[in-house]
Structures are given as structure tokens and as C-alpha cells.
Amino acid sequence: MTDGSSQAWLDRYARSVMQTFGTPQRVLVRGEGPYVWDADGNRYLDLLGGIATNSLGHAHPLLVAAVTAQLTTLGHVSNFFASAPQVALAERLLQVAGAPQGSAVFFANSGAEANEAAFKMTRRTGRTKVVSTLGAFHGRTMGALALTAKEAYRAPFEPLPGGVEFVPYGDLGALGRAVDGATAAVFLEPLQGENGVVPAPDGYLAGARRITAEHGALLVLDEVQTGIGRTGEWFAFQNPRHEGVVPDVVTVAKGLGGGVPVGGVIAFGPANATLLGAGQHGTTFGGNPVAAAAGLAVLHAVERDGLLENVRTVGAHLRTAVQSLGHPLVEGVRGEGLLLGVALTAPVAPKVAEAALARGFIVNAARPDTVRLAPPLVLTTAQADTFVAALPEILDTVGEGVSS
């Protein structure tokens, strides 16, 4: 009989899987709602959600039924043909994004692929200069990596596609000085997730829209981590504090498929929708009927079950509860909805994540001084409170020996 323990699986992993991600923390074998279980039978409250991906949690009945039903009818076709789920998902995305008449969607398989496609769209403007921000993360494919500021990710693969200039995130003055008549596009995240959950300041997106419009440049918003209800709106740019900004392009992935790989580029208006013409870009699996069915199921569940309101309610509760602990290691909580960063007073976030895992909670260190929370949108207040109740002990264990 094959040993089914975590250690046995880790041994097999080490012998067969590229060590791109290092040694896995656990071997997970099943999930239900916001919980997962490892190969040794231990249960964890998943407060990371596959990094903001498992929007409906694990094994959600509606998602399971939609994918199963689609596989029994039509699993895959090439993009020489259309499928009903593909068309319906595109229509629904345009609707929830508030995109005007003449807008269109290109489907991909991931956030990096969506940003790669958006990068190619910028070249079709006839300009080659692109402005991104320090702290940005747009993916690890060569084009998406060119838009990503983190040197540790970039250096091993340079030279990357050129023409990208980085400015400080949230600094409208710097953005205004960088954008000129040669600029094809500005890429921005409404909230920088990988940089420690850093929200755009009030007025920043609206200011970026004014600057790009003045110079005829595209405003591309990367909503891969923030889209599909993560911040309490369908998309983060729809938060009223962003003053009704209308972007040219929005990229989406992660939570759209609820764990099934799907990504997309939403081009606002007919001029932007035609930037990638026939034969100028493609994908084998993008818009796959099964992935599209998953996306439709997620959007339906978010609307049917009032998950946008749930995200706002549980997110606000979680933020307040953590801050109210008054723990000396907690500086504050940043973020929106259920994308939160617990800012620490010492660079011990990796140790906090490790200690939390030992106590049955999955979180991650977005940076040395920030613990990121991105749980399923179905998380309840009671479930969140189990983490809040355990957090002081977790922090106390990590805080031993940390100077004040």
C-alpha cells in the first residue's frame, strides 16, 4: 500500500516537481467552504484563498455542478469556434464592469497572460513607452515581468521588453511628470496586493485618468487580485472614492474562475476593443467552455448570495477586530474588503505565517512586515473570529525576543 502521509508526498514531490516554489508547507488533499485538510488529516481555515483565487471557497456546490455539467456536454473547442458559455461570460463581465457599448473581452488563462495581452495592446497604439509603478506586480511572463518592479524577479531574466518606466505608487506628481506624448499606457493596480496590500490614495486613479486622457495614453487597471468582489465591489475601481473613473482596459483572473484557470482583458469602448485585430493574438485554452462555465457560476453565486455585501461586512469586522487587539506587534490593518494587510512593527511576517499555520490558519507574508489575508468571499464573521481569537497567542510566540 502506498504511504499517503504528507512526508511521503513531499518526498515524491522533491523527486519529480521542479523546485520553483521551494518545499511546500503542507500537502493539501481536500477542502470545503473556507477550510482545507492536509494529508495527515489536519484542518486549516484558509485565509489566503489560493492567493485571492478561491472566491467561493472549496468544493462550492454551484461551481462543482456548473463545471461537471459543462464537461458532460462540451469540454473544449478551439477558438475557430464559439461556445455559449464563452459568449455569455463575456456579456456578463461587460455588464458588471459597467463597460460602454462597443466594449469587448479577450479571454486568457491567468493574470499574467491577461496583462501580457494588455501589454501587446499598448503596442498597437503606435507608441512604445509604458509607465508602471514601484511595488507593482503584474506577473512573471516576460512581458508582464517587464511591467513588474521587483528586482529579484526581473534580474535573472533581463533583458526584458523595453520602454517601461517606473514611478512611485500613489504619487500623482511623479506620474504626471512621467507621462507624455510618447506614452502608450499607464499600468496601475487599484490596490497593490503583492507589495503588502497598499491601496491607491483617494483621487489617485481619477488623477491618473486625467493625466492619461490629456496625453492620449491608455489607462490599464490590473484587477487580477482585486476584481470579482474581492474589495466589496465587482471591481476595485468602482469604489466611490475613485470618483467614477472609467479605464480603457481592465485585466482580470484569479477569483473569476473560483479556482478554475481563467483570465480576461476587458477593453472599454470600440476603439480599445479593436486594438488586437484578427490574428494578432491568440490562446488555445482562453475562453474554454469549462473555464467560462466556472466564471459564470462564480458571478452568479456572488450576486445570488449577496457576497459583495458579505465582503464589506466581514472585511470591516476583521479589520476592526484585529486592530482592536492592541497588540504591540500590530501597527495597523490596510486594504479593502477581504484583501487586507496586517502591518507589523517588526519584520517577522514569515514567522507569523508559520506560527499561524501550526495553529490551523493559512495566511502569507506579502512582505517582511505585512501578513496578507485574502480569504474566500464566503467567509463568515464567526469563522473570522476564530482567527482573531488565536492571533494574540500567535503574535506572542513570534514576538518573544523581538525588541520593542
pLDDT digits (tens, 9 = 90+) for 263-319: 999 999 999 999 988 888 999 999 999 999 999 999 999 999 999 999 999 999 999
From CA 198, how far away is CA 191, in angstroms rounded?
Answer: 5
What's the burial of 109, exposed, middle or buried (CB within 10 Å: 0-12/13-18/19+)? buried
Average of pLDDT values for 225-234? 98
377, pLDDT greater than 90:
yes
The band of 400, judged by pLDDT with boundaries at 50, 70 and 90, is: confident
The band of 1, judged by pLDDT with boundaries at 50, 70 and 90, is: very low
Annotated binding residue at 222?
yes
* 25-36 core/surface letters (b: 16 or more CB in 10 A; e: else): ebbbeebebbbb
Annotated binding residue at 112?
yes
42, pLDDT greater than 60:
yes
Annotated binding residue at 151?
no
Annotated binding residue at 148?
no
Average of pLDDT values for 337-352? 98
Annotated binding residue at 157?
no
Average of pLDDT values for 175-198? 97
Percent of the chain with pLDDT over 70: 99
401, pLDDT greater than 80:
no
Closest Cα to residue 92, out of 281, 261, 302? 302
Under DSSP, is residue 119 helix (H, G, I), strand (E, B) or coil? helix
Annotated binding residue at 283?
yes
Radius of gyration, alpha carbons of the chain: 21
104, pLDDT greater than 50:
yes
Average of pLDDT values for 333-342? 98
Q: Which three cell numbers stand for residue 209?
A: 485618468
Q: What is the pLDDT of residues 49-82, one digit of tens each?
A: 999 999 999 999 999 999 999 999 999 999 999 9
Annotated binding residue at 225?
yes
Map out the domains of the chain with their CATH numbers. Answer: 63-305 (3.40.640.10)
- What pLDDT sits at residue 2? 65
404, pLDDT greater than 50:
no
Under DSSP, is residue 221 helix (H, G, I), strand (E, B) or coil? strand
Alpha helices in 58-110 (DSSP H): 61-71, 84-97
3-state secondary structure 202-217: CCHHHHHHHHHHHHCC
